[in-house]
Amino acid sequence: MGGYFSGRDRWRNTGTVEGCRSLDVRELHRKGWLRPGLVLSLSWTDKGTGREVASIGVRTHPGQIVLAYNHRRTDSEQWQSIEEPVRIAWTACNYGGQRPWFNCPGIVNGVLCASRVAIIYCAGPYYLCRRCYRLAYACQGEGPADRALRGAQKIRMRLGGSPSLADWFPPKPKGMHWSTYERLCSEGELAQRRYLVRLDAWLGKFQR
């Protein structure tokens, strides 16, 4: 079974860093592609040339879909294969029936975002809600805590892990030198500690 999504880029006009692919849970639902047990391939095409620019695999499970795709970091020639589970929540509609939502798998301030959203956007290697997407790419106007968090997350993702600080630190990827890995470990730990200290100070302002 194959799928097709138009290569609409909702973000190019808002000045974000990269053109962006998105998934709309309502569209998946309309097409019957949330039924458990399906294996789909979705692709995006360039509006101008009509050529396929990206594709992902989707497996559907009860209450969850798993996105499977290859991602190449901008600083690397190597592709890494990513599997990202995204939970699906259902709510009752006013006029009967149910409508689906994505629970965003992103991490905000070290806490699982889990926002209920209709659309998730490809931000770096992950599909995230609009808020997480903005955090992932926000370069201006962010506080020192955000910057430290971004640093910590970047290191985890560079090692092929999830950006969640709640997860274990990722293991050494195949082919990476131990010295490099150890350096990234201590940089990651430092960024994480910096983030927690700043977050603490920031939250303290409101708790007094």
Q: Which of 34, 42, 67, 132 binds Zn ion (CB under 5 A)?
A: 132
Nearest CB to Zn ion, comparing residues 106 and 125: 106
Residue type, 151: G
16 in contact with Zn ion (CB under 5 A): no
Q: Which region, judged by CB under 5 A, interacts with Zn ion, from 44-52, 68-76, 122-130, 149-157?
A: 122-130
Q: How far apart are CA 157 and CA 163, in angstroms?
A: 6
Q: Which of 25, 34, 104, 122 binds Zn ion (CB under 5 A)?
A: 104
Nearest CB to Zn ion, comparing residues 138 and 190: 138
Q: Which of 16, 22, 103, 115 binds Zn ion (CB under 5 A)?
A: 115
Q: How far apart are CA 25 and CA 18, in angstroms?
A: 22
Burial environment of residue 174 by CB neighbours within 10 A (0 to 12, 13 to 18, 19 or more): exposed
Of 164, 29, 162, nearest to 89 by C-alpha is 29
Q: How far apart are CA 82 and CA 33, in angstroms?
A: 21
The least distance separating Zn ion from the CB of residue 162, rounded to whole angstroms, comes to: 13
| Number of chain positions touching Zn ion (CB under 5 A) | 6
Nearest CB to Zn ion, comparing residues 136 and 199: 136
Rg (CA), the chain: 18
Nearest CB to Zn ion, comparing residues 56 and 104: 104
What distances in angstroms separate CA 84 from CA 113, 125, 146, 182, 206, one per listed residue? 15, 9, 23, 26, 35
Nearest CB to Zn ion, comparing residues 56 and 132: 132
191 in contact with Zn ion (CB under 5 A): no
Nearest CB to Zn ion, comparing residues 134 and 194: 134
The least distance separating Zn ion from the CB of residue 109, rounded to whole angstroms, comes to: 11
What distances in angstroms separate CA 93 from CA 33, 68, 90, 98, 99, one per listed residue? 19, 30, 9, 5, 6
Residues that bind Zn ion (CB under 5 A): 104, 106, 113, 115, 129, 132
